Structure 1
Amino acid sequence: MFSTDIWLRIVCAMQVNAMLFGIGTVTVLSVPALADRAEILIPAVVLASFLLAPIVGGFIAARMRLRNWGRRAWREGDAISG
């Protein structure tokens, strides 16, 4: 049905969506100046998280595939994965 790449992107996008929504909601509700406008900003956070999640999830999913690294780069790692 779906390829492995599509499934990785879907799973990553769902997790990124939850993180973006949580970070945005906590920020809106914890800053008093933003909390006064929560009725406008919370839907904006929801919309922004839905729009940004597939983009960021796509970058993360690409890093999860060994074929995108190559053997030498996979052995060496990078600043994020060690």
Structure 2
Amino acid sequence: MFTPETWFTIVCSMMIHAVIFGVGAILVLSIPALAGHAKILLPLVVVAAFAVAPFSALAVAPRMRLRSWGRRDWKRGAVISG
């Protein structure tokens, strides 16, 4: 089947897709100039989020594994987790 890393990447990709879509939908619907074109822009937001999410997940998912953090990394933190 799939390795745990692949599952983390898939699940992380779905979560990132939801966040990107939510931010894009809020921007499109809350800006009056864009709200008039929402019929075209909302599907574009879905496609853009679907295209960007897997690449973002490839950067985030490996950091979800405890073994990828060394003692020094835990003390220092990371760009992703703060």
Aligned residues: 82
Q: What are the superposed Cα offsets for residues 10-59 of structure 1, whole Å, 9 maximum, x if unpaired?
A: 01000001001111001000000000111110010000010011011111
Quote the residue 1:78 is aligned against: 78
Quote the residue 1:22 is aligned against: 22
1:80 to 1:58, Cα distance in 2 relative to 1, 3 A? closer
SS at match of 2:21: helix
Task: Write the distance in 2 (CA, Å) between the matches of 1:42 and 1:64.
Answer: 30
Query: Contact 1:8–1:61 at 8 Å: present in 2 too?
Result: yes
Q: How does 1:1-82 map to 2 (within 5 A)?
A: 1-78=1-78, 80-82=80-82
Gaps of 5+ in 2: none
How many percent identity over aligned positions? 52
Choose 70-79 or 4-13, whichever is displaced more.
Answer: 70-79
Gaps of 5+ in 1: none
Structure 2 length normalisation: TM-score?
0.87
Task: Write the distance in 1 (CA, Å) between the matches of 2:38 and 2:12.
Answer: 27
Structure 1 length normalisation: TM-score?
0.87
